[in-house]
Amino acid sequence: MRAHVIDALPAPGGQCIALYPDKPIYDIPAVPVCTGRELVARLLEQIRPFAPSMHLSQLVTEVIPQADQSIHVRTSAGLSFVTQTLFIAGGVGAFLPRALALPGIQAFSGTQLHTAPSLPPPGQHIIILGQSDTALEHAIALHQHGGCASITVIHRRDQFDANQATVLAFAALRQDHHVSFIAAQATGFEHRNNRLTALHLATTQGHPLTLPADSLYTYLGLSPKLGPIADWGLNLDHKQIPVDPTTFQTHTPRLYAVGDINTYPHKKKLILCGFHEATMSAHHAADQLRPESAGPLQYTTTSKKLHQLLGLIPDPAST
């Protein structure tokens, strides 16, 4: 059996990477301490022999169980799959760019309002909201490319959560007046003929300010959104998917939910519980799909078949 992994984030790791990459975790059994990033690196190393196909930076938008028990899956990047079994490990939802909280501004999303770097047409006034590596690197890249009428970075404090070299390069451009920085928060916007024209700000000192804006880039971090999962008919209970606590199957056959997104009596949102749930659901699914090969459990210490899959001894099937 082979697995395809689909995730909204650009890299595998979910909350461990998106929420606490550098925080130490103390309750992974047999790993006295590791950071979120280290945990993900260890898990990726462990699954390497099984070479799952990764389909990243895209949401699963549709999950449609078919009459023949297969499940049709589509993603926001236009991929479509027909699968015999699906595991939802959606955590607290898909990590999507946090939206700018100005009522009505989303009307310009994709035209003048962006959440990922791009090169705007020449002669524009550019405003970048944010304080991350992405925000500063985009400002630097726009200056290097040239042609902007102005480049302004806005964040509520003159302080950046970015790597040292990037912060220094940005500071040099500020000193030479190639880019501007204003410590402020966005409070509103102006538009004319369906075009965004200016952004209203309140500076950290409390002064109102209006800046011309042709293109607005927002890098406000990631925020989890349950997203399309809510539309898949899964009888959600407080945004959680109810499952059988011994198989982790949802009420739809062959559709499983594991990790923080599922619920059952006495559920605990712990990583080690996710390991158990993923394992139990994988065994159940395999036994459902191939009842003829459901036999006694094989152990990695002794099973020749598992040693072949791990690449420890040659696999006659692959020669």
Interface with a second copy (CB under 8 A) = 20, 23-32, 34, 36, 39, 42-43, 45-46, 245-247, 264-266, 268-270, 272-273, 275-277, 279-280, 283-284, 297, 299-302, 306, 310
Q: Provide the strand spans (E) within 131-230.
A: 150-155, 180-192, 195-203, 208-212, 215-219, 222-225
User: Which residue, 159 or 298, has its beta carbon nearer to a second copy?
Assistant: 298
- Minimum distance, C-beta of residue 139 to a second copy, in the bound complex (Å): 32
Query: In this complex, which beta carbon is closest to a second copy, that of residue 195 or of residue 251?
Result: 251
Q: How many CB atoms lie within 10 A of CB 251?
A: 12
* CA dihedral of 280, 282, 287, 292, whole degrees rounded to 10: -130
Structure tokens at 83: 């699968």
Pick the closer one to a second copy by CB: 183 or 309: 309
Helix (H) or strand (E) holding 280: helix 271-289
Please name the amino acid found at residue 47.
I
- Nearer CB in complex with a second copy: 46/111: 46
3-state secondary structure of 39: helix
Q: How far is the CB of 240 from a second copy (least distance, A)?
A: 14
CB of 304 to a second copy, least distance (A): 13
Q: From the CB of 177, what's the least distance to a second copy, in Å? A: 42
Report the greatest alpha carbon distance in the chain: 73
| Rounded-to-integer distance, Cα 151 and Cα 44, Å | 39
Q: Report, in Å, the least distance between residue 217 CB and a second copy.
A: 31
N-to-C CA span, the chain: 18
CB-based contacts of 143, cutoff 8 Å, min separation 6: 151, 173, 178, 179
Q: Which is nearer to a second copy, 42 or 145 (CB)?
A: 42
Minimum gap (Å) between residue 157 Cβ and a second copy: 23
3-state secondary structure of 74: strand
Nearer to a second copy, 20 or 81 (CB): 20
Phi, psi of 197 (to 5 degrees): -120, -30
